Structure 1
Amino acid sequence: MPSLTIALFVSLFVCFANVNASPKFEELFQPYWAADHFSFDGEAVNMKLDNFSGAGFSSKSKYMFGKVNVQIKLVQGDSAGTVTAFYMSSEGAKHHEFDFEFLGNTTGEPYIVQTNVYVNGVGNREQRLNLWFDPTKDFHSYSILWNQRQVVFLVDETPIRVHTNLEHKGIPYPKDQAMGVYSSIWNADDWATQGGRVKTDWSHAPFVASYRGFEIDGCECPVTTASSDNAKRCANSGGWWDEPVLSELNVHQSHQLIWVRANHMIYDYCSDTARFPTVPLECEHHRH
Structure 2
Amino acid sequence: MAYTKPNIQNESDLNDTFMKHLLAIYETFSFYIGGKQEMPSWYKYIGYFLIIIVFFLLVMYFAQNSFYDKVRTIDDKDEVFLKSSESIPVRVSVKNSIWGENVIEDEINLQNFVTFMQIVKSEGGKAKQKSCQKNQDNFSGEVTYLNGDKYTFSIGNSVILHKRIYCSTSVKSLAESYKADLLQLYYKPDKIALLLQKCSEVIALKNGQEMELSQEKVKLVSEQMKSSPLLTDYDQITKLLYKHERAQAFIIGYVNGKHITNSRSDVIHISVYPTFSVFQYLGDDKGNVVYLQGSLLEAI
What TM-score, normalized to structure 1? 0.19
What TM-score, normalized to structure 2? 0.19
For CA contacts below 8 A with separation 6 or more, give which structure has more relative contact order: 1
